Structures are given as structure tokens and as C-alpha cells.
């Protein structure tokens, strides 16, 4: 059953990748089981929050035993769709597009994501390879997407190009965008857009630093 069918709250879905990361780290240390108390201490969330979150998926824990790390890791991976092959393309092979293609951690078969092509308009970039992945001419993108049944595209091209390219990509079959271009995309509801804006995250950081400083000053 997918998370959509079960109406799982976006807040829970947002926490799952963190569970997945912690469980992966436990697995790497050959830890086979963990209580919700121990997991809560490591993750700094309450044990009841963990139980509540995981109960959404039928509760993988057993009274007196805790959680089987491997099972929970596999099940959360399935919920996140990581058991399927998630092939993606990167549109815009400049600084950021190449950095993403070079980044090993998600470009790794064990978590199901695989960058299989980059696309660009710049003739100097077309034909080069980044971490073994070729940069293709943007004019070949439609055919490539259709032939490979690609569902995910990372957008790392200039802001003014992103909306038009995103619309084309949807008409060629893209269902999800990992959008780095600093622009809000207006696309059909059937399409998922995950915006990643590092500057916004930094602004939250500066807000927190300065509001704490102001609070200390007021004491
Ligand atoms: N979200 C974030 O946190 C974040 C961080 C850095 C950059 N960005 C954004 O990511 C984008 C890329 O940044 P960058 O530093 O890599 O820029 P860049 O100039 O190095 O790369 C952009 C690439 O897009 C290509 N391009 C231009 N028009 C295109 C088109 N129509 N189709 C395909 N490719 C096209 C260019 O030839 C270039 O290679 C920008 O929109 C930037 O604002 C976002």
C-alpha cells in the first residue's frame, strides 16, 4: 500500500528519510535490533513519536524486542520508493548540475537513485562525461526521456529557462522535479516538485542566530 493510499501526513513522510539514514548507519555497524528508546536517544526524538510514526505503516516493532533494524530499513526504503530503480536526468550541466552528478551518496545503486544523463545547450559541455555520465544535447532530451521512461528530472539550469523546460519535460513523461532553480514552477497536480533552495535554508539559520542573540541581549 502506498503512503498516498494510507493518507500519511507529510510531516511523517518528511521524517522517514532521517529514520532511513539512522537505520542505515546502525546496519553498517552490524546492529541488528534496537528499542524505540535507544533509537529515540540517538535521533533525539521521543520514543512515542517514533512509535507513532512507525505505527502508520503497521508498526514494525515487537513488545520487548524493539525493532529489527534490517526489516525496518527495508520497509522504510520501500515506503520511500527506494526499492525501485529511480533513474533521473539532470538538466543544466553547469556548476551545480555537475556537482550533483559527482555526488556519490545518492548516485548510488544501493539507495535506488541513478543519474543516467545530463543535458545542456552549451556545445562545450555536450559530449563530456561527469562521473561517467554523459552530457547530451538538450535537443535529444525528449527522445531520451521517452526511450528510457525517465520519471525524475533535476533542474539546475538558469531560473528564466526552468518554467518552459519543466512544462516540456512534463509533456514527455517526467513526474517529479528536484528543482534547484530559484523559481516556483506551476505544473499539473499530478506532478511532484521538491524545491531545494540552499539560500532559504541559510536564511533560517541567520534568523535563528540573530533571534537568539537578540533574546540574550534582552536578558
Ligand atoms: N537551489 C539552490 O540552492 C541553488 C544553489 C546554486 C545554484 N542554484 C541555481 O541552479 C541553477 C544553476 O546554477 P549553476 O551555478 O550551476 O549555473 P551555471 O551557469 O554553472 O550552469 C547552468 C547551466 O545551464 C545550462 N543551460 C542554460 N540554458 C539551458 C537550457 N535551456 N537547457 C539546458 N541547459 C541550459 C548552461 O549552459 C549551464 O551549463 C541556477 O538557476 C542557480 O540559480 C540553486
C-alpha to C-alpha distance for 143 and 168, rounded to whole angstroms? 12
Residues with CB under 6 A from ligand 1: 91-97, 119-122, 125, 138, 156-159, 161, 165, 180-182, 196-199
How far apart are alpha carbons 53 and 72 in whole angstroms? 12
- In the predicted model, is pLDDT for residue 89 greater than 90? yes
pLDDT of residue 10: 84
Q: For residues 146-152, give the mean pLDDT.
A: 96
Residue 3 has pLDDT above 60, yes or no: no
Q: Clarify whether residues 108 and 48 are in a common domain.
A: no
The reply to whether 151 and 172 lie within a common domain is yes
| Segments forming the whole domain that contains residue 136 | 86-199
Look at residue 2 in the predicted model and tell me its pLDDT: 46
Same domain, residue pair 68 and 112 = no
Evaluate if residue 192 carries a pLDDT over 90: yes
Whether 4 has a pLDDT exceeding 50, the answer reads no
Atom of ligand 1 nearest to the CA of 157: 24
CB 69 within 8 A of CB 107: no
Distance 105 CA to ligand 1 centre (A): 21
Boundary-marking domain end, from 43, 59, 79: 79
Same domain, 55 and 156: no
Is 153 annotated to bind ligand?
Answer: no
* pTM, 2 dp: 0.86
Is residue 61 domain-resident? Answer: yes
- All three cell numbers of 190, joined, read 499530478
Residue 39 cell numbers, joined: 533509537
CATH number for the domain spanning 21: value is 1.10.10.10
Give yes or no: residues 103 and 189 share one domain: yes
Domain co-membership, 159 together with 184: yes
Q: Is residue 204 part of a domain?
A: no
Final residue belonging to a domain, choices 79, 101, 128: 79
User: Do 180 and 90 share a structural domain?
Assistant: yes
Arithmetic mean of pLDDT over the chain: 88
Judgement on whether residues 187 and 94 belong to the same structural domain of the protein: yes
With cut-offs at 50, 70 and 90, classify the pLDDT of residue 58.
low
Model ipTM value: 0.98
Which residues have CB under 8 Å from 80's CB, separation 6+? 16, 17, 20
Residue 113 has pLDDT above 90, yes or no: no
Does residue 1 register a pLDDT over 90?
no
Q: How far apart are CA 39 and CA 68, in angstroms?
A: 12
Task: Count how many domains the chain has.
Answer: 2
Q: Is residue 119 part of a domain?
A: yes
Same domain (yes/no): 92, 66:
no
Residue closest to 94 by CA, chosen among 216, 196, 180: 180
**Residue 99 and residue 185 in one domain:** yes
* Residue scoring higher pLDDT (144 or 48): 144
Last residue of a domain, one of 48, 79, 110: 79
Give dist(CA 219, CA 216) in Å, integer.
Answer: 5
Kindly indicate the confidence band of residue 121, based on its pLDDT and cuts at 50, 70 and 90.
Answer: very high
> Contact at 8 Å (CB) between 61 and 67?
yes
Q: Are 71 and 167 members of one domain?
A: no
Amino acid at each position: 500500500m502506498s503512503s498516498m493510499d494510507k493518507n500519511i501526513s507529510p510531516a511523517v513522510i518528511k521524517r522517514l528519510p532521517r529514520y532511513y539514514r539512522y537505520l542505515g548507519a546502525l546496519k553498517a555497524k552490524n546492529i541488528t535490533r534496537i528499542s524505540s528508546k535507544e533509537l529515540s536517544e540517538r535521533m533525539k526524538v521521543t520514543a512515542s513519536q517514533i512509535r507513532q510514526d512507525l505505527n502508520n505503516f503497521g508498526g514494525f516493532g515487537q513488545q520487548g524486542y524493539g525493532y529489527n533494524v534490517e526489516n525496518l530499513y527495508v520497509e522504510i526504503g520501500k515506503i520511500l520508493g527506494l526499492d525501485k530503480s529511480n533513474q533521473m536526468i539532470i538538466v543544466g550541466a553547469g556548476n551545480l548540475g555537475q556537482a550533483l552528478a559527482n555526488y556519490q551518496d545518492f548516485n548510488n545503486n544501493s539507495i535506488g537513485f541513478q543519474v543516467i544523463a545530463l543535458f545542456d545547450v552549451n556545445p562545450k559541455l555536450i559530449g563530456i562525461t561527469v562521473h561517467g555520465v554523459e552530457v547530451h544535447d538538450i535537443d535529444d532530451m525528449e527522445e531520451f526521456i521517452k526511450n528510457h521512461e525517465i520519471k525524475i528530472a533535476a533542474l539546475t539550469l538558469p531560473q528564466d529557462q526552468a518554467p518552459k523546460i519543466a512544462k516540456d519535460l512534463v509533456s514527455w513523461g517526467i513526474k517529479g522535479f528536484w528543482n534547484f532553480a530559484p523559481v516556483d514552477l506551476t505544473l499539473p497536480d499530478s506532478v511532484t516538485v521538491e524545491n531545494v533552495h540552499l539560500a532559504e535554508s541559510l536564511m533560517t539559520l541567520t534568523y535563528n542566530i540573530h533571534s537568539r542573540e537578540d533574546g540574550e541581549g534582552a536578558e
